Structure 1
Amino acid sequence: MPGTPSAIRRRCAGAAVAAVALATALSGCTTYDTQSPRSARNAAAKKAGADPSAAALPAGAVDCREAKCIALTFDAGPSEHTPALLKVLDEKKVRVTFFLLGHNHVDKYPDLVAQMGRNGNVLGNHTWTHRRLTDLEPAEIRTELDRLNTAVEKLTGERPTLMRPPQGRTNKEVAKISKELGLSLVLWNDTASDYATTDSALIHKRILKDAHRDGIILLHDLYKGTVPAVPGIIDSLRAEGYTLVTVPELMAPAKPEPGKIYKP
């Protein structure tokens, strides 16, 4: 299940893009434009000069133009550990973004999906079977994304509008199909490689090491060491002055645009 940053490296020198990402040698040197949450907010603020409504925040949203925000996200749920995670989030009063996986997750724990979407949490798309989208034909990409969205809509009444590509691998074709399906792509800057360790203290340490304002944290609640690390991660981030938010809150008043790739 890993969605590791090693799958994307910035190596393609000289590319005239806002940010350059490179898939591993399996996919070749693939570049694509990305936008940071901060730059999305700045663009919305600039637009507000002509359209004041562009600066409006959703009701109850944190204003990350003022607060020191960071987004906590979880991939590949639901899992047997999700109820414990939801209890922690409820007790800590934290809203997060879940990128749901279909096969053996949404279809195995359907009753958890609606619970995950409560209390202000946001449900996103992590494909149906976790195949690398950059290895697939267009019709297969569409099936991976649309099948998950349809399943979530059936369970919750709403279709996800955010998507995290497995292993962070994306390209222009993936972005094009995502746009057609109304999905914005969300990458990350901070992860603990929790698929490779059960050491909760190490997971905590790794997350705090790379945390920064307007960052996006990637964890997986299906791994044994992750959920026990979450209370301490939340407490430590708050002690450093962070406000934990969802991905849409991090970007507000900008709204995620379908087909656009966001990365801190």
Structure 2
Amino acid sequence: MDAMTLQTQAERFLAELKRSPHTVRAYRADLRHLITWLDEMGHPLNGPGLDAYFAAHAQWAASTRNRKQTALERFCRWALQRELLDRDPTLHLERPSLPPPHPRGLRREEIERIFAEIPAEQARDALLFRLVFETGLRIGEALGAHVEDLDLTRGDEHLTVVGKGNRKRTVLLDDPRLVNLLRRYLRTLGYTHGPLFQATKNGRGGPLRYQSVQERWQGYTKRAGVICTLHQLRHSHATELVNGGVSLATIRKRLGHQHIQTTLRYAEVSDQTTDAEVRKWRRQR
């Protein structure tokens, strides 16, 4: 196909594309850029032509190339189905690896809005979710905690958990409200050994399943009007620590990261925190 025919078929493809207007606009821009470049360089829409196209734009970020490649792959599959192409020229293209997304934490006031929606009689839920938020535990670590893993010695309250790779670590329970919730909750339990958080289905205790916890959390976030996943509670705790000036080495140990590179993903602190740190340094000179 020549450039004019390619552009016409691309518009047909976009007209049939069932995607948001924003996605259609992005695909249109990406396909026009490709078709114009191929025409100017004298390359057909084939494997070598695409190799030359992406090689000429090696400066693109991985996310940009991924987006453009997705638009191109979908167009080529569409054209192949309509026998406009003999073969799919995108099959040999490799996807660039994307860096893991930067963890997004929520502000404390947003989390507290969700907690405010938990009924007073749901003490187990209130404790579980606050424990994850105030300690940065993985939800699986919290659900796997046992009563006997707790040490509530006054002034040295902590919890021993088993994390990834079956590695044990001790997590300080330094939030007074969390410790008070724990003490009150333990007084209501009819047992002193076993899972800290048990299901109460049909009046019988049993392991509390992640799916049940997820459903309850989604209900509370919906009532609060706040979008927040369970894992974002952990992210929010880590973000608070970073913005509070806690060292990455300490945060790594508290969160149970095996590699410091994982913890470094939280190192983007807010401008306000950065400004405060610079002012403090300036005063001490």
Q: TM-score, normalised by structure 2?
A: 0.20
**Structure with the larger helix share:** 2
Bigger relative CO (Cα 8 Å, ≥ 6 apart) = 1
Q: TM-score, normalised by structure 1?
A: 0.21
**Structure with the larger strand share:** 1
Larger Rg: 2
